[in-house]
Amino acid sequence: MTDRIGRRLVQLGFLLLFLYPFVPLVYRGLTYREAPVVLSWLLAWDPLLLIGRLPRLGQGALMVGAPLLLLALTLVGGRFFCGWICPLGTVLDLVRPLAFWQKSVRASRMGRLQRALTLPGGNSYLKYLLLLAGLALAVFSLKLIGLLDPLVLFHRVATGAYTNWFALRSPGFDLYVTTSLLIVAIVGLELWRPRFWCRHLCPQGALLGWLSRWTLLNRRVSGACTYCGRCRSACPMNAIPKEPHNTNYQECHFCLACEAACPEKAISFGWGGLAWAEWRARRRTKTETGRAAPAGGYVRAERGRLERILGLKVGRREAVGGAVTGVGALALWPLLRLTPNRRLLRPPGALPEEQFVATCILCQECMRVCPTRGLKPAFLEAGLRSLGTPYLVPRAGGCHLPRNCPNLCARACPVGAIQPIPAKEMRIGLAWVDRRACLAWDQGARCLVCVEACPTEAATPHQGRVTVNPLKCTGCGICEQVCPVVGSAIHVLPLGGA
């Protein structure tokens, strides 16, 4: 029990640590006082994101130490990250007690489709297909990894909560994209089956699980085991097969639930080489309770050639399914290019549109640190490929890079989709005046609000009317933000037109 309490404290500690960068922003939103901007350190440890970026990083990937360290620790300690550190896993563990009816749910018979997608251990290999599809598509785009990576997903949800519930300035569709219906589905599945996301769908868990087959941290069951089956019932990851002495280390995340559930105290955790061993019964003996239980010991497990290569116990059908998934993922991104789209006003320093859309992982870190909250997630304004990518909405807040913003969006971007640029080189759009709506043009009023607000003096008065000098305009959108006309009489268009 003490170990499980310690694990829960570690989980909550890491959860608060990952949420700390939001604290200064919440403080600033509640008190209207200046607060430092703290960049997120969660995505810097993301190994799935690192592997997906390999085609773009080249030799620079060798310098990314945090994800490589996590992969190395996984080889030693198995899927400890999933059970002790992952913030999404912690949220699911906190949600699980709400499903009070789960204890009375019995395993139902699997349908034909479920049997086709299930590994011999009982969990789905669909997560491995999603991992393969994400890594294959990463040659063209990091979009699928960004959508399904649990660390990015958690960060996107936290950013959405801050943007929508503290700022209260977001359009309706922002809530859909930022908080994501996916997290609602994940929580709903958790209320249906424990750790459903981790067992069947999580690509990060598939990557760490594949490496965990060499783990030196083991679960050991002594001869006191009576085969009561309580450890199997308590395991949320379905990592204990029919032989309770064995463990599927590709699924086990060392939550210690089996140790607490064992009435004989026969389960312990320690270091050793049991990852490639299995229990072999030799004779039947009687336990202290009078029940007959087979005695035996751990011997080296026999693995087939395909299992030794792939690290998974799969047949030809599963191998063919993996190949088809990889080819299908490669064809997905070019097909999305056929959808209609229009240009959006991207953050300053954004890569060229094609590269930007392919590189952005939808983490929304740039939106979180934006001092004016002018960056918003795109819905369908620019087609499916741009779904969730950041763009500047000047009416909500103009870009302050020409004034005093120290390239926060570029510094926060974990994948380099936004590069830092000098303020004098910023040029993301061009402002134009709607003369039919402008008070100075249409009504002859002396309104020079945009002229006074323009940081580059691009908006100038001419005979009492506002004009824009295209050689000086950077497209920051501050003029559009401060315009007193409903809906604004001055608008910023991206370079090249809308």
Write out pLDDT tens, residues 43-57.
888 888 888 887 666
CA neighbor of 397 nearest in space, from 125, 175, 170:
170
Region 404-409 average pLDDT: 88
Through-space distance between the first and last CA atoms of the chain, rounded to whole angstroms: 61
Residue type, 37: V
Rg (CA), the chain: 27
- What six digits make up the tokens of 345? 């006003």
**Residue 170 pLDDT level (bands cut at 50, 70, 90):** very low
DSSP 105-153: PPPPPP-HHHHHTB-TTSSBSHHHHHHHHHHHHTTT-SHHHHHH-HHHH
Q: What backbone torsions phi and psi does residue 161 show, to the nearest 5 degrees?
A: -65, -45
Rounded to whole angstroms, what are the CA distances from 362 to 115, 159, 209, 298, 315?
34, 11, 25, 46, 35
CA neighbor of 265 nearest in space, from 288, 238, 242:
288
CATH 3.30.70.20 residue window(s) in the chain = 216-301, 353-494
Q: Which fold has domain 216-301?
A: Alpha-Beta Plaits (3.30.70)
Q: What SS3 class is residue 370?
A: coil
Query: Which of 289-293, 358-362, 437-441, 444-448 is least confident?
Result: 289-293
Note whether 271 and 216 are within 8 A (CB): yes
Mean pLDDT value across the chain = 81
Query: Which of 6-15, 104-113, 304-313 is least confident?
Result: 104-113
- What six digits make up the tokens of 50? 């690192």
Question: Token match 């270091």: residue?
Answer: 271
Rounded to whole angstroms, what are the CA distances from 111 to 108, 319, 445?
9, 21, 72
- Residue 59 has what pLDDT? 43
Tell me the per-residue pLDDT of 205-239, one tens digit each, with 9 for 90 and over. 999 998 998 899 999 998 888 888 899 989 999 89
Does residue 314 have a pLDDT over 70? no
- Residue 180 has what pLDDT? 65
Region 420-438 average pLDDT: 89
Tell me the per-residue pLDDT of 145-154, one tens digit each, with 9 for 90 and over. 888 899 999 9
Residues 178, 183, 188, CA angle at the centre, nearest 5°? 150
Q: How far apart are CA 49 and CA 14, in angstroms?
A: 20
Does residue 117 have a pLDDT over 60? no
Region 166-186 average pLDDT: 60
Q: How far apart are CA 103 and CA 235, in angstroms?
A: 12
- Residue 22 has what pLDDT? 85
**Residue 119 pLDDT level (bands cut at 50, 70, 90):** low
- What six digits make up the tokens of 42? 């969660």
Region 87-99 average pLDDT: 91
Note whether 266 and 279 are within 8 A (CB): no
Note whether 267 and 258 are within 8 A (CB): yes
Among the ranges 111-115, 339-343, 401-405, 409-413, which has the highest mean pLDDT value?
409-413
215 CB-contact burial (10 Å; exposed 0-12 / middle 13-18 / buried 19+): buried
Q: In this predicted model, which residue has the larger pLDDT, 445 or 392?
A: 392
- Residue 473 has what pLDDT? 92
**Residue 30 pLDDT level (bands cut at 50, 70, 90):** confident
In the Cβ-directed half-sphere of 427, how many Cα atoms lie within 13 Å?
10
Query: Which of 37-41, 354-358, 481-485 is least confident?
Result: 37-41
Does residue 283 have a pLDDT over 70? no
Q: Which fold has domain 353-494?
A: Alpha-Beta Plaits (3.30.70)
**Residue 90 pLDDT level (bands cut at 50, 70, 90):** very high
- Residue 91 has what pLDDT? 93
Residue type, 146: G
Residue type, 74: T
- What six digits make up the tokens of 193? 């089956």
Note whether 447 and 364 are within 8 A (CB): no
Query: Which of 284-293, 333-342, 359-368 is least confident?
Result: 284-293
Note whether 30 and 23 are within 8 A (CB): no
Give the percent of the chain with pLDDT over 70: 78
- Residue 341 has what pLDDT? 66
- Residue 168 has what pLDDT? 43
Rounded to whole angstroms, what are the CA distances from 92 to 177, 203, 248?
21, 16, 21
Question: Token match 């380099």: residue?
Answer: 416
- Residue 308 has what pLDDT? 61
CA neighbor of 391 nearest in space, from 477, 487, 278:
477
Does residue 393 have a pLDDT over 50? yes
**Beta strand segments in 237-320, E:** 267-271, 277-286, 292-300
- What six digits make up the tokens of 394? 């000047």
Residues 30, 35, 36, CA angle at the centre, nearest 5°? 145
- Residue 164 has what pLDDT? 65
Q: What is the 3-state secondary structure (H, E, C) of 194-216?
A: CCHHHHHCCHHHHHHHHHHHHCC
Does residue 102 have a pLDDT over 70? no
Region 111-135 average pLDDT: 69
